[in-house]
Amino acid sequence: MKMKTNEEWKRDLTPEQYRVTREKGTEAPFTGEYCHTKDPGIYHCSNCGEVLFSSEHKYDSGSGWPSFDAPEKVESVEMIADENQGMRRTEVVCHRCGAHLGHVFDDGPVTTGKRFCINSASLKLEIDKTQPLP
């Protein structure tokens, strides 16, 4: 994939998507489009369309951001040490385009022990129309 320039990203993304995904911003808790969504489907990168997460791995962590216990494909995300803002965290980025997605923590459900805390602005849900909506 050809990497876009900052001007191209600004043209193709909403201001909020650009702030979150290209400038490593964070949405305010409980404000993101997908925070409470329970629709079945696949979550893609809002920047490049890469498959990132499945609704089957989404759960309500109470954190204020969409949370998943695992990516749909391990190779679709990259994890990077993040020591900004005086904290030690692990940043999650899209492997294909480098978009900032959120962070992963070791306090998730027993199935994986992981909580991928992801900004809605970094996601685009493709609803599975073969499944009943909640």
Do residues 23 and 29 make contact, with C-beta atoms less than 8 angstroms apart? no
The residues annotated as belonging to the active site are 117
How many other CB atoms are there within 10 angstroms of residue 33's CB atom?
A: 15
Phi/psi of residue 125, nearest 5 degrees: -85, 125
Give the burial class of 109: count Cβ atoms within 10 A of its Cβ; 0-12 exposed, 13-18 middle, 19 or more buried.
Answer: middle
